[in-house]
Structure 1
């Protein structure tokens, strides 16, 4: 199975990156092919709603690192979104990538794909993740993809918090179960 993991964290050794690593290990242990796109370390221009991608050539006006991820996105059978939550939603780096899905909307919507969301945040209540989860569920419903799991890692402010929690095991098992 082809899996695309899109991360938003600007911290290579951060909490959400650690969850992504755990998920990838589980998926690879099950024989899946995994590609990772770390949005925070890429040049991804935000969508400006110019609709050029919806015209005859269906190409985005921006020539940036979305050209690297688009072929992977189109062939992926599972798309995994991994983001820290700084302020009640997925972070800006991953959101810029998601907004740029619009250029491929006619191919992505209704495609036989599965999706996963993994988020980390320092707060101890699930309330801090509700915006990210609602956004993800709305997107998956719109795209007509199948949600196959959510790992919502509360209380994970720093790396040691996530390492000493159950969340890496949950991420690993989710990757392995696909």
Structure 2
């Protein structure tokens, strides 16, 4: 299964090790592509709105394009992040900000509606659910229909310090999720995604947008045939 892992940290800590363990069970080495943030996208969104005109006008388009091209060709996406201050890491949040144009209110990518995704977070104490939600919210609005999560309070400061019993529980959770992922051949788009998509469709289907900075949004939906009966999940 072709897999892309996006790590919200440069170091190879607990979140990294869990994400990599899952990938190793579901894909061969040559099917796995990894990106590390901030190493592979070391920028914050400037709020310049150039992407509203065209995604190629983003000052950081070249680096983003490498990651998004890998995402397009993958079947499974794995996102890992440590829990920092009860939230996802700053580099992961920056990545989310830099890809906001792919959200359903703007110019969603049709291929996203075919993907499976897993979000993984670890914390020494509490907060993994909030860190995970930062990412799952983004993935939902990208249009990804199948999203699973793994959150662990590891009660340690490194992967090596995690107790043997805790690692056994992590291993069992990975095995269970791996089996679930293998059973799902084509993710089914749910009611909530369809509802939001159609709501955004009504918002964007307005020819008055053609004379505004949101003209690219209108033409994206128009050119994909989404104002008619065509849908990205069909």
Pairwise same-fold verdict (TM > 0.5): yes
In the TM superposition, what is the alpha-carbon distance from 1:94 to its structure 2 partner? 1.8
- Measured in 2, the distance between the counterparts of 1:173 and 1:9 equals 25
Q: Contact (CA 8 Å) 1:122, 1:155: kept in 2 or not? A: yes
Q: Contact (CA 8 Å) 2:96, 2:138: kept in 1 or not? A: no
Select the structure with the greater relative contact order (CA < 8 A; seq sep ≥ 6): 1
Q: Contact (CA 8 Å) 1:117, 1:136: kept in 2 or not? A: yes
Q: Contact (CA 8 Å) 1:3, 1:35: kept in 2 or not? A: yes
Normalised TM-score (structure 2)? 0.63
Q: 1:174 aligns with which of 154, 177, 184?
A: 177
Q: 1:79 aligns with which of 77, 80, 98?
A: 77
SS of 1:61's partner is coil
Cα-Cα RMSD: 2.7
Residue segments in structure 1 that go unaligned for 5+ positions in a row: none
In the TM superposition, what is the alpha-carbon distance from 1:36 to its structure 2 partner? 1.1
Aligned length: 173
1:35-82 deviations in whole A, cap 9, x for unaligned? 111113324211122221121464422255323212112222322110
- Other-structure match for 1:133: 132
Q: 1:41 aligns with which of 39, 42, 46?
A: 39
Larger Rg: 2
- Measured in 2, the distance between the counterparts of 1:47 and 1:95 equals 10
Q: Which has the higher helix share?
A: 2
Q: Which has the higher strand share?
A: 1
Residue segments in structure 2 that go unaligned for 5+ positions in a row: 182-234
- Other-structure match for 1:8: 8
- Measured in 2, the distance between the counterparts of 1:51 and 1:68 equals 21
CA gap of 1:167–1:59, structure 2 versus 1, over 3 A, is: farther
SS of 1:73's partner is helix
SS of 2:79's partner is strand
